[in-house]
Amino acid sequence: MLMLGLRLEIISTILEYLPIRDLCSFARVSKQLQEMVYDDSRWVHKLKLMGIWNETEARRRFEDAMRRRRAVQAARAAEEGKKALENGVKTPNVGLAGGSPAPGVSRSSTLFDAGEEENRVQVQREASMRRAELDAKRRTVAGTITEGIDFMNPAPLTPIDIPRPGIADPSSLLKVLPSIKSIRGFARHEFGRIYAALGPLYFDLAKAKTHTDPVVFRIYRDPEQQAQILAQLKVFALCDTAHGWMDRLERLDLMIGIFENAALREFEGGYETGDTDGRMRRYANVLILLNGGQACVQLFVQKHPVMFERGELGNPMDSFDKPMPGSFSLEPSSLFFTRLSALLHEQADVIDRVFPATVNVMIPFLERVAEDVISEFVTPILDEAHDRDIEQYLKAVAGIYHQLLEFAKTIKATNGSGEKFPEEVMKIMGRVFEAHVDLYLQDELEYFRKKCEAEVDSWEKKILEEDAATESFFMSNINREADKRDFLSTFKKVILMPVSAIPSPFSAKSASATETKPAETSPDASSNSLSVQETPNVSRPGTPVVPGQAAPGPPPTTELAAKAAIMNSRLEGIRSLFSLEVALNLVHSAKSSLERAALFASAGGQTGEEAREQCEQIFIALLQVLGPRHVKAGFDKAVEHLSKYNPREITEHSQPGVPPLVTFLELVNVGDLIQQMIDVFYEQELVAAKLTDPRDFLNPAAKEKKRFEQMLDERVAAGLNMGIDVLIDEVDHLFAITQQTTDFNPGAIGDAGLRDFDIGPTKTAIQVIEVVSSHTKLLTGSIDKNVLDVFNQEVGIRLFASLCKHIKRQRISVDGAIKLISDLNHYHAYIATLKIKPLVPYFNALRELSQIYLIDPSHAKQMATVIADPNRFGGIFRVEEVYEYATRREDWYRVKKEVERAMYGIGCCIS
């Protein structure tokens, strides 16, 4: 009763640090202390320490039990209630000291249990008596065990109502921990089972001086069993919170250590003698039972001969200078991976035989191989390649990485590898390259950028050196639309066949051979002429089917090159501005760079993400070099030429075109071609390869592409604007210099006999139409239909305005009217071919207008009505304007009076 002087919490805390035996004695002191000791949460806590308490299971069981119990409780309610009251009176301190609600709750259940416990203890005592007899019998069998069990006997309150198979049978003891159930209110009983089974062994072990002493090693002779029980003891030690636990734990660890070492030695012995199925297998199992077997896995991995014999798999320096000095070959590394793969295949078998399926040995093994063997092989190659030549380095990285991936695919999974084995293998292999990827991606982009710039630079230099005088070369007007489509479809075909067209890093060819491929194929195939007969308006995705080409053509690379050469020769005129070939080369190198970088994108994870971003960067770099550097500069130059053009300075007008405008329009064509090329490239290489998301409008690649297109459109628009001015300037110039006064006024010269009477448009009209139509035709198919329509409409309106001005400068006789009408009919016919509705009324009005010159002077009066008829000209000309035109009649001063009189109603006299 002295104890009650202490606060209950303090007592409870003290209890936590008491050994189990003392707890039992303590419980005997009083009912109240017994309750405290028996408190279920105390034992749950101990089970939790060992990590074998399952809270969800407990809750489920508790709910089940509560349901059952409530039924029983109802029956006994009166009787139990009385008893409880009694207890409550007897222990007033409990009520007072119940600081937290939790003890109160548990107390009520303990109270109830305590009542039952009384009865049960009685039963148990009898049972334990019986068991003691049994134990006594067994004592003869296993001497010291009983000592431990005897500890338990003086504590009859320990729950031993559940039969203890552990003691009856040493082998069933091995499974005591897994058999523990999580039941609320029975934690003490469960703990008792564990304690009874492992306690004696534990304390015995703790006292042992040498490794031969402990009972454990005497009961169990089998190393597997020993391992099992030691593993359980290790768990059991976790709940040992009593004084001296450190010493005990230390001793236990020592014993386990000794045991583990012995087992490892056996395992190692088996390893060295190659006794795979015997000792290795057995002791691997033992060690796994003991503590998961990490030690033997480590040993297995560390001691593996492949770590020491990696030199035999291949020498990294073999990759260099082998076929010839300075070259680089992927063959040695391929050989290396083949050998390694064979070796790993063998090892997978060994692992399967040695280790059970519960342990994943292959992954640690592979990690080690990757780190020690592959990295050691790859890194020197890459470092060396990097030092030698960037391009070699880039090819080496991509090539070896691909080999590595291929190699990873060949690795055989073992029984214990689990389902995610392939992913894990990829991850491990990815780690090998992690260190290189960043540098590689950066170098790739830089290399690509440099190469592009160099290409453009060299081209620019070449152009500067060449004489730019031949700049204006009028293109033969053969079916350019079909040509372009043909070219594009070939381009598409090449893009679609990546491996054959662009040197893949994995074709085992030597790098130096593949490297020059795109460059040398471009010019060589110009002999490959092709006849394009496709109708321009049939839009067909495939290549045009030309009779001669029905048979499978030459390999795409050369076919593309051939077409590029043909296009180039046609585009001679603009070669000083920008070159399709350069664009093609740029796209080619972008593709090879992309293909290499894309390998890493498939690796997934952070590296993959980075690689993907880098791929987009490459694309952006391509656009930036191609766009602002190459195309834009060309356009700017062309527009500049245009703006400087002055038709009056050019004496030679034999060509039916304005040279700078023709150049510009050709440029529009090529620009459009390049844009479509980029588009195909983007679709095929980036979108189809899932390197970029076309729906993401914030995506830098998509944005850059849009910017490129916008740039192109802007240049085209600016150029067209300028182009219209230049064109109309040229037309005005033609009017001014070629139109003869006699054209519309044949009588002016006075010699009627020499009059060349032939109807039909004048030379001027024919020439003007030729100039205008040759330019508008150039644009067909190269720019957007809407833009083209706007352009044509603008040209039409400006032509109309020029014509009006021109007519107002002429003198037109009645005879000359026929010429004028012919001219205007000619213009009208041309405008009709443009098929632009809004233009038609203007030229209709002109035709109507021309009639007034046809009217005989004797009809002057009616001429006034014609002039004043507003409907006649569809609202294009006002009456005053028509009047103004009428004044251009050659006989105007003769008819003026009459006309004006009729128009304004001034006087009326009969002549």
Partner 1 sequence: MANDEYDFLFKVVLIGDSGVGKSNLLSRFTRNEFNLDSKSTIGVEFATRSIQVDTKTIKAQIWDTAGQERYRAITSAYYRGAVGALLVYDISKQITYDNVTRWLKELRDHADNNIVIMLVGNKSDLRHLRAVPTEDSKNFAAENHLSFIETSALDSTNVELAFQTILTEIYRIVSSKALDGGDQHQVSQPGSSQPLHITPTAENATKDGKCC
Quote the Cα angle for 230-233-239, to 5°.
160
Q: For residues 542-571, which are near partner 1 according to CB under 8 A?
A: none
Q: Which of 4, 517, 844, 884 touches partner 1 by CB under 8 A?
A: 844
How far is residue 573's CA from residue 475's CA, in Å, rounded to a whole number?
7
Supply 620's token pair.
């952006």
Span near partner 1 by CB under 8 A; candidates 105-113, 661-669, 689-697, 852-860? 852-860
Q: Alpha-carbon distance 251 to 427, whole Å?
A: 41
* Residue 371 · residue 307 · CB < 8 Å: no
Separation CA 169–CA 714 (nearest Å): 93
814 binds partner 1 (CB under 8 A): yes
Q: How many Cα atoms are found within 13 Å in the side-chain-facing hemisphere of 522?
A: 19
CB nearer to partner 1: pick between 334 and 764: 764
Residues pairing with 320 in the sheet? 328
CB under 8 A: which stretch of 193-201, 638-646, 814-822, 883-891 binds partner 1?
Answer: 814-822
Question: Which member of 234, 825, 876, 890 binds partner 1 (CB under 8 A)?
Answer: 825
Ranges of H-type helices in 497-632: 498-501, 511-515, 517-524, 556-570, 580-601, 605-624
Q: How much of the chain is in helix, strand and coil states, percent to nearest 5? A: 75, 0, 25
Among 865, 878, 887, 897, binds partner 1 (CB under 8 A): 865
For residues 73-112, which are near partner 1 according to CB under 8 A? none
Question: Which member of 509, 859, 896, 901 binds partner 1 (CB under 8 A)?
Answer: 859
Judged by CB under 8 A, the residue of 159, 746, 781, 796 near partner 1 is 746
If the CB atoms of residues 606 and 858 are measured against partner 1, the closer one turns out to be 858
Q: Classify the phi-psi angles of 505: left when phi > 0, otherwise alpha if psi is within -120 to 50, otherwise beta.
A: alpha
268, 341, 822, 892: which one binds partner 1 (CB under 8 A): 822
Count residues binding partner 1 (CB under 8 A). Answer: 29
- Shortest spacing between CB 849 and partner 1, in angstroms: 9
Among 821, 831, 839, 876, binds partner 1 (CB under 8 A): 821
Only one of the segments 327-335, 546-554, 691-699, 810-818 lies at the binding site for partner 1 (rule: CB under 8 A); that segment is 810-818
CA distance 477 to 284: 84
* Inter-residue contact 853 to 823 (CB < 8 Å): no
Of the CA atoms within 13 Å of residue 756, those in its CB half-sphere come to: 9
Q: For residue 388, state whether it binds partner 1 (rule: CB under 8 A).
A: no
Return the sign of the alpha-carbon dihedral for residues 216, 217, 221, 222: positive
The DSSP result for 234-277, as a single string, is: HHHHTT--STTHHHHHHHHHHHHHHHHHHHHHHHHHHHHHT-II
Can you tell me the distance from the alpha carbon of 874 to that of 890, in angstroms, rounded to the nearest whole number?
Answer: 26
Token pair recorded at residue 646? 């002055």
Is residue 651 packed enough to be buried (19+ CB in 10 Å), middle (13-18) or exposed (0-12)?
A: exposed
Residue 453 tokens read as: 């710039």
Of 190, 616, 732, 848, the one binding partner 1 (CB under 8 A) is 848
Do the Cβ atoms of 836 and 796 come closer than 8 Å?
yes
Give the residue with the Cβ less far from partner 1, 386 or 872. Answer: 872
Q: Which stretch binds partner 1 (CB under 8 A): 60-68, 74-82, 521-529, 817-825?
A: 817-825
Instruction: Name the token pair of 728.
Output: 């109309």
Supply the minimum distance, in Å, between the C-beta of residue 859 and partner 1. Answer: 4
| Closest separation in Å from C-beta 654 to partner 1 | 19
Q: Which residues pair with 328 in a beta bridge?
A: 320
Q: Binding segment for partner 1 among 231-239, 416-424, 658-666, 861-869 (CB under 8 A)? A: 861-869
Instruction: Enumerate residues 6+ apart whose C-beta is below 8 A from 664.
Output: 638, 639, 641, 642, 719, 722, 723
Pick the binder of partner 1 from 318, 406, 789, 815 (CB under 8 A).
Answer: 815
Q: Does 847 bind partner 1 (CB under 8 A)?
A: yes
Extract the tokens encoding 198. 């492992």
The nearer residue to partner 1, 5 or 905, going by C-beta atoms, is 905
15 or 854: CB nearest partner 1: 854
> What's the min distance (Å) between Cβ of 857 and partner 1?
9
Q: What is the per-residue binding string for partner 1 in 588-627, x denoting contact by CB under 8 A? A: ----------------------------------------
Nearer to partner 1, 412 or 901 (CB): 901
Residues 749-778 that bind partner 1 (CB under 8 A): 755-760
Q: How far is the CB of 653 from partner 1 (least distance, A)?
A: 20
Among 856, 875, 878, 897, binds partner 1 (CB under 8 A): 856
Determine if residue 293 is left, alpha or beta; phi over 0 gives left, psi from -120 to 50 gives alpha, anything else beta: left
Q: How far is CA 311 from CA 325, 328, 382, 383, 904, in A?
A: 23, 20, 17, 18, 114
Stretch that binds partner 1, among 102-110, 438-446, 722-730, 860-868 (CB under 8 A): 860-868
Q: Please, which residue, 455 or 848, has the CB nearer to partner 1?
A: 848
- Could you tell me the smallest distance in angstroms from the CB atom of residue 875 to partner 1? 15
User: Tokens 């110039």 identify what position?
Assistant: 733
Q: How far is the CB of 839 from partner 1 (least distance, A)?
A: 14
Min dist. Cβ of residue 468 to partner 1 (A): 40
Contact pick of 197, 494, 818, 882 for partner 1 (by CB under 8 A): 818
Closest contact distance (angstroms) between CB of 804 and partner 1 is 17
- CA-only gyration radius of the chain, Å: 50
In the DSSP assignment, the letter for residue 555 is -
Q: Which residue lies nearer to partner 1 by CB, 52 or 821?
A: 821
Residue 757: CB partners within 8 Å, gap ≥ 6? Answer: 746
**Smaller CB distance to partner 1: residue 126 or 856?**
856
Q: Which of 855, 876, 886, 895 binds partner 1 (CB under 8 A)?
A: 855
**From the CB of 822, what's the least distance to partner 1, in Å?**
6
Question: Which window, 142-150, 371-379, 529-537, 840-848, contacts partner 1 (CB under 8 A)?
Answer: 840-848
What's CA 439's distance to the chain center, in Å?
19
Q: Which stretch binds partner 1 (CB under 8 A): 106-114, 737-745, 804-812, 822-830?
A: 822-830
Closer residue to partner 1, CB minimum distance, 697 or 893: 893
Q: How far is the CB of 906 from partner 1 (least distance, A)?
A: 16
Nearest Cα residue to 400 out of 410, 390, 408, 411: 408
Q: How many residues does the chain have?
A: 911
Identify which of residues 377 and 800 has a Cβ nearer to partner 1 in the complex. Answer: 800
C-beta of 95 vs 874, nearer to partner 1: 874
Give whichever of 484 and 872 is closer to partner 1, judged by the CB atom.
872
CB atoms within 10 A of CB 387: 10
Which residues are bridge partners to 889 per DSSP? 812
The answer to the question of residue 823 lying near partner 1 (CB under 8 A) is: no
Q: Name beta bridge partners: 812.
A: 889
Q: Does 910 bind partner 1 (CB under 8 A)?
A: yes
Work out which of 18, 413, 854, 868 binds partner 1, going by CB under 8 A.
854
Distance between CA atoms of residues 380 and 316, nearest Å:
6
Distances (CA, A) of 442 to 438, 446, 749: 6, 6, 80
* DSSP helix/strand/coil, 498: helix
| Interface region with partner 1, contact rule CB under 8 A, candidates 44-52, 200-208, 570-578, 856-864 | 856-864
Contacts with partner 1 by CB under 8 A lie at 746, 755-760, 814-815, 818, 821-822, 825, 828, 844, 847-848, 850-851, 854-856, 858-859, 862-863, 865-866, 910
